[in-house]
Amino acid sequence: MDIVDNVRSGKYRTKLDYPKMNNTCKCGNRFKEGDSFCSKCGSKVEDYKAIYKEQLKTYREDEGKLCEKFRKDALKDVGLSKHEAKDRAFNMAWSDGHSSGMEEVYYHLINIAYVITGE
C-alpha cells in the first residue's frame, strides 16, 4: 500500500475521540463559569479539568506519533530519509500543504524531493 492509500485509509489518523470538557458533575449538576466546587455535592471542578487535560494530552501524543510515522514513511518513499535536507524538505512540504491534509503534504514533498535529487 502506498502513502496516499495509507493516508486515505486513515493509517495516520488517531482512533481516539477528541476529548470534551465535562461540565457536569457526577451528581448531575452543571458547573457554571467560575465555579470551584459543585454547589450540590462539593466535588472540585479542578478534578474534572485535570481529567480533561490528561485526555487531551493522550490524544495529542497519539496524534503526534502518527504524524511522525507519516513523516518517516513519506521521506523514505520519496528517497529523502537519509538526506541532510530531509527535515527542511518535510517542513516546507508541511507548511505548504498541511491545511489541505496529509495527502497534499505528500504531493508537495514529492516536488521538493525532485528539486533536491533531480529524480
Residue 9 to residues 5, 32, 78, Cα–Cα distance (Å): 6, 41, 20
Residues 89 and 37 reside in one and the same domain: no
**pLDDT at 1 exceeding the cut of 70:** no
Residues 51 and 83 reside in one and the same domain: no
90-108: average pLDDT: 96
> Quick one: pLDDT band at residue 4, thresholds 50, 70, 90?
very high
Residues 59 and 19 reside in one and the same domain: yes
Residues 71 and 83 reside in one and the same domain: no
Residues 47 and 101 reside in one and the same domain: no
Domain residues for the domain of 43 are 15-77
Residues 68 and 106 reside in one and the same domain: no
Examine residue 106 and state whether it is found in any structural domain, yes or no. Answer: yes
**pLDDT at 112 exceeding the cut of 90:** yes
CA angle 68, 71, 75 (to 5 degrees): 150
Residues 43 and 95 reside in one and the same domain: no
105-112: average pLDDT: 97
Q: Residue 51 is placed in which grid cell?
A: 481529567
**pLDDT at 102 exceeding the cut of 90:** yes
Domain count, the chain: 2
Interatomic CA distance for residues 104 and 35, integer angstroms: 44
Residue 91 to residues 17, 18, 33, 87, Cα–Cα distance (Å): 27, 25, 40, 6
- pLDDT tens digit string along 15-64? 999 999 888 888 888 888 888 888 888 888 888 889 999 999 999 999 99
Whole-structure pTM over 0.85, yes or no? no
